[in-house]
Amino acid sequence: MAHGKHKPVMIDMTPMVDIAFLLLIFFMATTQFKAPESIPILLPESHSAIKLPESDVVILTVGPKPENALFWRLEPQPEVGIEMVEMENALVEARIRNPRLRIAIKAHKDAEFGVISDMMEILQKTNNTRFNLVTNFEDDTASSDDEPTSLRPVNHDLVRR
């Protein structure tokens, strides 16, 4: 019995490359990017750093004096303006929809403390006594251009009135 020449076994890679590019296009098309901020915020500095979570977080933004504009962003939705009187109901509704919701206050370093104090009173009134303050990380060894956004945890075990 004579053996003929064997053809080498070849695997066609074309379908695998097609699938890889289809997956790449799918992920590029469905990725949600962070919406731009309504106003630029200069954050106060901090020496501790905790990363802001990507989801399950509501960011309450306070602009600089004299306007002290208030904005509300429930990640991953875009930022919208909000009045102080609407904030209480919005916080209650958001907490009902997502009990694991984390609250972060992102205030301009020149914002009036009275506005931030009013926000904290609303948080206390709605029984949201754990929240974070968004700051810039201040490192003595790094340059000021490389300051990542960080959180400073605040745990207020406030007495209810």
Which among 45, 55, 63 is positioned nearest to 112, based on CA atoms? 63
Instruction: Please check the confidence at residue 102 and state whether its pLDDT lies above 50.
Output: yes
**Tokens standing for residue 20:** 């890889």
Whether residue 28 is predicted with pLDDT greater than 80 in this model: the reply is yes
120 contacts 145 by C-beta, under 8 angstroms: no
Please name each of the domains of the chain with its CATH number.
Answer: 45-155 (3.30.420.270)
* Alpha carbon 8 to chain centroid, angstroms: 55
* pLDDT per position as a tens digit, 120-139: 899 999 888 888 888 776 66
> From CA 55, how far away is CA 124, in angstroms rounded?
23
Q: Is the pLDDT of residue 2 over 70?
A: no
Residue range 4-9: average pLDDT? 82
Residues ≥6 apart with Cβ < 8 Å to 130: 103, 154, 155, 156
pTM confidence score:
0.58
Note whether 75 and 104 are within 8 A (CB).
no
